[in-house]
Amino acid sequence: MQIVSQLLFFAALAAAVFFFSRRAAGIRRNILQGRDIDLSDQPGRRWNNLLLLAFGQKKMFRNPLVAVLHFFVYAGFVIINLEILEIIIDGLAGTHRIFAPVLGPVYPVLIGCFEILAVLVAVSCAIFLVRRNILKLKRFISHDLDGWPRSDANYILITEIVLMLLFLTMNTADGVLQSRGAAHYTETGSFWVTGMFQPLFEGFSDSTLAGIERGAWWLHILGIFAFLNYLPWSKHLHIILAFPNAYFARLEPNGKMENMPAIQQEVLYAMQPELAPTDASAAEVPKFGAKDVHDLTWKNLLDAFSCTECGRCSAACPATQTGKALSPRLIMMKTRDRAEAAGRGETGKTLLRDYISEEELRACTSCGACVQECPVSINPLDIIFQMRRHLVMEESSAPQEWTLMFSNIENNMAPWKSSPDERDAWIHA
């Protein structure tokens, strides 16, 4: 009987790892559809960002109350993984609480800490559900999230609460069985949180308790395997990708736009023809700006897959706040959706127009609030700029006023209609 359970566990673990890896490789492929960009410079500053922005969640603390709650969930997730390691070893080896004899008196302290964290995770998630569904915070009831994204968020929070409750139920039943000296239930001493709830289970027989304990144990670990595989299909993937995304975050001043060396070169040759290579006709004409995900960089696509749809960007965006079509969160969600679709082989569609409209791109004031607010180092502005470059340079598509502005700059050296000779008129006025 024991061996059957071990084999079942092995099968479940192997399936979870297999399907997760397959999906992870798929996401990696989807991200690498983007064009190459070298982000290997300044490792010192990058590690610093990784520590501060990802591990330290620095930007979350712009709103300290939410940051603390989120930190509980994050710490719970990271630290409770130690417990999962024990569960996996137990499951494979057919042992029970294999770390207990090794760690001795430290063991119940450790589990006690996990239990406190589990309670904090469950409470925080419950508060998050309230914020989303009862308090209805503006950024959570926004139409950006209509349909699947809104359900996705709720499923994640509910699953996390259920997993924590299963963990606590398992420990409560285990504690009672230990106190009765039941076979296989290693004596560890009472746990901090579930110790208080043991009286609730005292009325049950040993076999009922063992059923509860085993049931909760299995549901907990199978739930975790299932969640692991839900993760990469959901916005919750940020718990993994926030780390590389912080490492590869842009290090230049926020106000600096990405240079286009190809155009810089071309202008140089136009101004100083003697520098131009003589076999210039052989050079292939590069594409300017981005029409589709393949024209964006892999960092732009990593951004898209790192987005957890929290909406801090859109809540700060002046265009979104004044009812324009643009929402930086949607820019990221649409980029991810198109990258997924392109990865599946969707043809005949492009990010521009089929996903993101010209109207959205035109509404951006380049104020940088979206970049400033994003806790996971996403840069929606960079995508908007690249798509604007495509519109203007590849399609000559610009509002009439912009076309006029361009010609004014070109002819009058100023964006307005004015004579260059008038430029110093203010001195004599």
Partner 1 sequence: MQIKTMAEYFAEGETPEVLFWVGCAGSIDQRSQKITRAFAEILTRTGTKFAVLGKEEACTGDPARRAGNEFLFQMMAYNNIQVLNNYGVKKIVTACPHCFNTLKNEYPELGGHYEVMHHTTFLQGLINEGRIKMKEGGSFKGKKITYHDSCYLGRANGIYEAPRAVLEALDAELVEMKRCGSRGMCCGAGGAQMFKEEEKGTTRVNFERGREAVDTGAEIIASNCPFCMTMLTDGVKETGKEDSVKVLDLAELIARDMQE
Shortest Å distance, C-beta 427 to partner 1: 5
Q: How far is the CB of 243 from partner 1 (least distance, A)?
A: 24
Task: Measure the CA dihedral 199/204/206/211, to 10°.
Answer: -110
Residue closer to partner 1, measured from CB, 28 or 62: 62
Q: Which is nearer to partner 1, 329 or 362 (CB)?
A: 362
Minimum CB distance to partner 1 smaller for 126 or for 325: 325
Q: Which is closer to partner 1, CB of 97 or CB of 390?
A: 390
Residue closer to partner 1 (CB basis): 348 or 426: 426
Least separation in angstroms between CB 387 and partner 1? 8
Q: How far is CA 83 from CA 7, 97, 212, 248, in A?
A: 21, 9, 19, 31
Pick 181 or 323: Cβ nearer partner 1: 323
122, 164 contact by CB (below 8 A)? yes
In the block, residue with structure tokens 């290579």: 277
Strand partners for 352: 356
- CB of 344 or CB of 426, closer to partner 1: 426
Q: How far is the CB of 369 from partner 1 (least distance, A)?
A: 7
CA distance to 121, 128, 202, 215, per residue, from 198 (Å): 21, 29, 6, 17
User: ∠286-288-291 over CA atoms, to 5°?
Assistant: 120
DSSP state, 420?
A: G
Give the H or E element holding residue 426. helix 425-428
Please give the single-letter amino acid code of residue 356: I
Q: What are the φ and ψ backbone dihedral angles of 416, each rounded to 5 degrees?
A: -105, 165
What is the spatial distance between Cα 308 and Cα 313, in angstroms, rounded to a whole number? 11
* Closest CB to partner 1 among residues 43, 368: 368
Please give the residue ranges that form the binding site for partner 1 (CB under 8 A): 62, 252-257, 259-260, 263-264, 266-268, 270-271, 288-289, 316, 318-319, 321-326, 359, 362-369, 371-372, 385, 388-393, 398-399, 401-402, 404-406, 409-410, 413-416, 418, 420-427, 429
**C-beta closer to partner 1: residue 125 or 371:** 371
Amino acid sitting at position 209: L
Instruction: Supply the minimum distance, in Å, between the C-beta of residue 36 and partner 1.
Output: 19
Q: What is the 3-state secondary structure (H, E, C) of 60-86?
A: HHHCHHHHHHHHHHHHHHHHHHHHHHH
Q: Specify whether the CB–CB gap between 187 and 179 falls below 8 A.
A: no
Please, what sign has the CA dihedral across residues 413, 414, 419, 421? negative
Please report, for residues 33, 245, 315, 345, 401, the alpha-carbon distance to residue 339 in angstroms, rounded to integers and kept in the order given: 8, 17, 25, 10, 33
> Among 295, 258, 299, 293, which Cα is nearest to 394's?
295
